[in-house]
Structure 1
Amino acid sequence: MTELNERTDTTTSPNVREEPRRALPPTGNGVSRQRGALVGAVVRSQEAVVLAVLIALLVGFAIAKPSNFATSGNLENLARDAAVLLVLSIGITYVTIMGMFDLSIGSVLVFSEVVAVKAMGGLGTDNAGTALLGAAVAVVAGTVWGLLNGALVARLRLSPFIVTLATFGAALGAAELVAKGNDLTAVPSTLSTFIGIDTFAGVPSLVAIAIIIAVIGGVQLAKSQFGQLTYAIGSNPEAARRVGIRVTRHIVAVYAVVGALAGAAGFLDAARFGTTSMGGHSNDALAAITAVALGGASLYGGRGTMLGTVIGVSIPAVLQNGLVILGTQSHWYQIIVAAALIASIYLDRRRRESERR
């Protein structure tokens, strides 16, 4: 494969320096210029803005319900809930940077969870070996769905939106067939205890696993050739093809990673609750995409960081937890998350316009 950095004249990778742009003469009155500068500063520092919003939410809920929200038990529970969403969002970060979508992750999570629990229950044992088998089955099952998504998108050149919307329904239907429409409870107690309940160095095991996955994903995205190719394809897929990057193969690989992480999230979800959740993940794609967008990733491709995703994931998790404690109807959570996604898209567009000036 031609190395990305060998042909810097035709690629638009974030690692390639652009020629400095000639300054344009000022237009409009002073107030308009100041307003434009303020908007530009805000959209360029989206991670800082989101971090400020997160802190405001934490403080607000803590003031509103200090005896319920600001407790070690609730914050630990909040972190465990965010851990599964973080693992999903890590995969969505890759596919978003590539300028594509995956709406199927919630159903892929459920399918992977179901087949993993089915496999562990079939062994009839309760030990570490059983848990490892379940993890392997979940990751493989998710990877298969990811490969299917990638092949349909990259090789048949179908719309990622349509493909993953279709596999969203297909994976959920397959899960219901395997489980015969019922949630499965044959989760080994060893798994539920070690991952769902125990802590490691004072950190819940579930959260520690999610953090490790995020660190690995972040290093790969920022430092490896795989990450560079993902940025390059998201910035300009045609330029990536011209420098010799195998775009089709890389798209399939990224979707396989997304599926594998959805499978891992399904395994962690089963460990967290000790049962499958057939109807509990219909909004996972919305929450993950919103988290990634809030973290500064561009839905147009070519931009995003894993650190931003970690910050962005906290917003939906804190919102859901806080609204439940306040006794607010769950429908408001979906409305607020959808509004946050729209706001993120708007900020992304303004940022792109600001950078073009």
Structure 2
Amino acid sequence: MSLKTPPTETVAIGTLDNQRVNPIAAVLRTQAFQILLVLLAIIIVFSILAPESFAQWTNFRLIIQNASILAVLAVGMTYVIITAGIDLSVGSVLVFSGVVAALVMRAMGGEGWGVAIVGILVAVLSGVCWGLLNGFLIAKAKIPPLIVTLGSLGMALGLAQILTGGVDIRDVPTVLTVSIGYGNVFGSVPIISVIALVVVVIGAVVLHYTRFGLYTLAVGSSEIAARRVGVKVDAQLIKIYTISGALAGLGGILSLSQFSTTAIAGQSQTNLNVIAAVVIGGTSLFGGVGTIMGTVVGLFIPAVLQNGFVITGVQPFWQQVAVGAVLITAVYVDQVRRTAATRGNSQSLWRKFVSGGRRG
């Protein structure tokens, strides 16, 4: 009796061997690139409507500066969502880290870099502790990420309010506000934006060019398969949530530097804004797919919309409507693509939409 290779396996191998992927076409098909086109279209429209106020470097600089703190948080959130998780606590961890850092610096006294560096370390360490707690409960206790981070959201914010009595702390070392908060390099480039850029670049390199990034994508694609090939999934998840917490802590000290106050009540929508940016940028809520650069593009859509609406005299509340519509569309596109990939169907998005998702 002769052994034969199953026809399906032969066909599959032959298909893989003969496939040639055009890299340019692959980039053009990515959701991140399509969202970039949407962002460019929005910028062009506002530039035409208000060329003397919107289409100016000073205005673009303001947009970039306002989005910098969210960009730091969004890097960690991208890693979390790639694993099919969620972190609702980043805004509260940001507040808590800023509060603890402000209390420590006030207790030390002084305005120099020595006090400021201690505050920075305390803020990041505070975020790391919350991230470790989230990661341990999710990976080891097997509690769903939504529940864990929703709980830590309330705990971190509540503790921040307990520590301050609900009153914002305004005793921030001048060196932080002058250098990080409002300082510039190369003439007019905000230092806070340079810090955010460094975080973004490091996050992108680690995600796409290191084993840690590969393991992150593997866990999101299939946790069972990742375990079978030797990935320590629990440890990976703990590391990822710790990174998200650490970046939220860094965001806390950046916020403290920029606003010269703890702004306890000013971060209620931060977690939702960050999640929306990550998903709009092409990171799949189902896990396994995502890019840092896509997240950055997704982050600037609400920032540009809000700025453009204010300049053109449109009620800024329309920004929430527009971002919500873009978010729903992004999730729908991702779901359709995943369904088509699972079925091996190359049906176009438009045909899928008008046919109600049926094959044909």
What's the TM-score once normalised by structure 2's chain length?
Answer: 0.85
Q: Which of 94, 101, 123 matches 2:108?
A: 123
Q: 1:171 to 1:332 in 2, by over 3 A?
A: farther
Aligned match of 2:298? 312
> For the residues of structure 1 that align with 2:170 and 2:13, how far apart are their CA atoms?
59
Moved more, 196-205 or 149-158: 196-205
- Contact 2:33–2:294, Cα closer than 8 Å, also in 1: no
Aligned match of 2:20? none
Which residue identity lines up with residue 202 of structure 2 in the other structure? I
Aligned match of 2:6? none
Aligned match of 2:152? 167
Q: Which of 253, 273, 286 matches 2:272?
A: 286
Which string of whole-angstrom CA distances, capped at 9 and with x for unpartnered residues, describes residues 111-150 of structure 1? 1111111111221111111211111111011111111111
Q: 1:188 to 1:322 in 2, by over 3 A?
A: same
Shift of 1:287: 1.3
> For the residues of structure 2 that align with 1:277 and 1:19, how far apart are their CA atoms?
58
Aligned match of 1:324? 310
Q: 1:92 to 1:355 in 2, by over 3 A?
A: same
Does residue 77 of the first structure (1) align with residue 43 of the second (2)? no
Aligned match of 1:49? 34
Q: Which of 183, 186, 194 matches 2:168?
A: 183
Shift of 1:168: 1.0
What's the TM-score once normalised by structure 1's chain length?
Answer: 0.86
Which residue identity lines up with residue 339 of structure 1 in the other structure? A
Aligned match of 1:28? none
Shift of 1:210: 0.3
> For the residues of structure 2 that align with 1:42 and 1:79, how far apart are their CA atoms?
25
Q: Which runs of 5+ in 1 are unaligned?
A: 1-17, 23-39
Which string of whole-angstrom CA distances, capped at 9 and with x for unpartnered residues, describes residues 76-124 of structure 1? 1111111111001000010011111111111111111111111112211
Q: Which runs of 5+ in 2 are unaligned?
A: 1-11, 17-24, 345-360
Aligned match of 1:27? none
Aligned match of 1:232? 218
Q: 1:158 to 1:259 in 2, by over 3 A?
A: same
Q: Which of 314, 328, 349 matches 1:342?
A: 328
Q: 1:109 to 1:298 in 2, by over 3 A?
A: same
Structure number with greater Rg is 2
Q: Which of 182, 193, 199 matches 1:213?
A: 199
- Contact 1:217–1:306, Cα closer than 8 Å, also in 2: yes
Q: 1:90 to 1:205 in 2, by over 3 A?
A: same
> For the residues of structure 1 that align with 2:273 and 2:28, how far apart are their CA atoms?
21
> For the residues of structure 1 that align with 2:101 and 2:173, how far apart are their CA atoms?
11
Shift of 1:236: 0.5
- Contact 2:283–2:290, Cα closer than 8 Å, also in 1: yes
- Contact 1:108–1:172, Cα closer than 8 Å, also in 2: yes
Identity of aligned residues (%): 45
Moved more, 59-68 or 75-84: 59-68
- Contact 1:290–1:340, Cα closer than 8 Å, also in 2: no
Which residue identity lines up with residue 216 of structure 1 in the other structure? I
SS in 2 for 1:279: helix
Shift of 1:334: 2.9
Residues 30-49 of structure 1 aligned to structure 2 (within 5 Å): 44-49=29-34
> For the residues of structure 2 that align with 1:180 and 1:252, how far apart are their CA atoms?
32
Paired positions, count: 323
Q: 1:20 to 1:299 in 2, by over 3 A?
A: farther
> For the residues of structure 1 that align with 2:167 and 2:313, how far apart are their CA atoms?
29
Shift of 1:331: 3.5
Q: 1:242 to 1:333 in 2, by over 3 A?
A: same
> For the residues of structure 1 that align with 2:287 and 2:320, how far apart are their CA atoms?
25
